[in-house]
Amino acid sequence: MPVLTLDVGGPNEMDIDCERGGHAAPRKVGDRGYSGSGSEWSQIRAELMVVPVVTAPLLWSQIATIRTMFALGKRVNCAGDVLNKPGTIVFSGTITDELHETADRGTLNLTLFEVGSTLTYTPTITQFILSGADWGDGTYIATPLVSGPIAGDVTITFDVMDAVSPATCSLPTPCCAISYSPDPVIIWLSKPFQPVVGGIPFVTGTPSATILGIGDAGDARWCYQSTKAVFTHVRDGVDVDTPVESGWVASFFAGGDATYTATSSVIWAIQPTAVEQIRVELWGRIGLAGGGTDNSNRQRLFWGGSPSKYLTVGGGPFVEV
């Protein structure tokens, strides 16, 4: 009979004869993804063993000891020819048992799940600076997201929804109808990038962008003066994956960072043969308070010339191409 050794090197080490054993379909860490054209890329980082075994009849005291070993998701050092792999391997397990005909023994059904203790993942944060002098009007798609500042940067100041007249209303209505920008008030598109050799070929985690801004937060005539960011993965000029958005961000009236953090995380695969980019759009909204009148002040944002304007993503590191 094949043998399974549990708690190798531990206080309860025991050899168990197995009537049956083998490998089920492996447990995959990650998944596969598909582009709109039907091409496939793998996000699978590992395939870990799943080994169901049926033991020879064991004393109930032995079964109780084995249950304690694996209770509450504990990890157990295992070895043996039933694993069809040399050395000691760490497993968690699930257990059921059956009464043997002699009543003083039971047959254990044990499914082992390889833990993969050697799989470690340390998140890497890649920062892209929102900079560059190639900027026109508020809807121009520039290419300012790079791995460092560009020589000759200029600072651009723009007011969000400056040409929009907000709706008015009378008290006791607390807030008037909100006006939303029909198009992004500004768009950044990253230069193409790829993972460096040995880097992680994914954009992961929660995208976040920061620029500088001031607003009318101290003016009671306004209910809303804010912007939100939309982050989109672009491959070969086509939007792929699902865009993620930040919440609405209002700038402090005395000035300071406006940070736009997506409300959900992403796993975006980066193909080494494709043109991979990230687009960042800012969308605006304004709304007067009841009885308020438009004083022509708007949320004012500052872009360019400072390393404090940046987009951060997880994964990588990435290199500009």
Q: Tens digits of per-residue pLDDT, 194-226?
A: 777 666 677 877 888 888 778 765 577 888 889
**172 and 89 in one domain?**
no
Cβ count within 10 A of residue 126: 21
pLDDT of residue 117: 55
Decide which of 128 and 229 is more confident: 229
Q: 135 pLDDT band (50/70/90 cuts)?
A: very low
**250 and 131 in one domain?**
yes
**186 and 157 in one domain?**
yes
Q: Is 137 a residue whose pLDDT tops 90?
A: no
State the CATH number of the domain containing residue 39. 2.40.30
- Alpha carbon separation from 76 to 59, 82, 90, 112, 208 (Å, rounded): 20, 16, 6, 10, 40
**189 and 305 in one domain?**
yes
Instruction: Choose the final residue of a domain: 114, 148, 178.
Output: 114
Question: Is the residue at 301 inside a domain?
Answer: yes
Question: Is the residue at 120 inside a domain?
Answer: no
Q: 124 pLDDT band (50/70/90 cuts)?
A: low
Query: Which amino acid makes up residue 246?
Result: S
Q: Is 151 a residue whose pLDDT tops 50?
A: no
**181 and 109 in one domain?**
no
Q: Is 143 a residue whose pLDDT tops 50?
A: no
**275 and 147 in one domain?**
yes
Question: Is the residue at 313 inside a domain?
Answer: yes
Question: Is the residue at 270 inside a domain?
Answer: yes
When divided into structural domains, the chain yields a total of 2
pLDDT of residue 288: 92
Q: Report the predicted TM-score, pTM, of the whole model to 2 decimal places.
A: 0.59
Each residue of 55-74: pLDDT tens digit? 888 888 998 999 999 988 88
Radius of gyration of the chain (CA): 29
Q: 173 pLDDT band (50/70/90 cuts)?
A: very high
State the CATH number of the domain containing residue 207. 2.60.120
Structural domain of residue 261, as residue ranges? 125-320
Residue 241, C-beta contacts closer than 8 angstroms, at least 6 positions apart: 232, 233, 266, 268
Q: Is 32 a residue whose pLDDT tops 80?
A: no
pLDDT of residue 321: 67
Question: Is the residue at 119 inside a domain?
Answer: no
pLDDT of residue 282: 87
pLDDT of residue 286: 92
Q: Please report, rounded to a whole number, the percentage of residues in the chain having pLDDT higher than 90.
A: 18
**142 and 104 in one domain?**
no
Tell me the pLDDT of the chain averaged across its residues: 78
**136 and 99 in one domain?**
no
Specify the range with the lowest mean pLDDT, choosing from 15-19, 143-147, 205-209: 143-147
Question: Is the residue at 314 inside a domain?
Answer: yes
pLDDT of residue 86: 81
Please, are residues 221 and 168 in contact by the beta-carbon 8 Å criterion?
no
Each residue of 264-315: pLDDT tens digit? 878 888 888 888 888 888 899 999 999 999 888 888 887 654 444 667 777 7
Q: Is 41 a residue whose pLDDT tops 60?
A: no
**145 and 109 in one domain?**
no
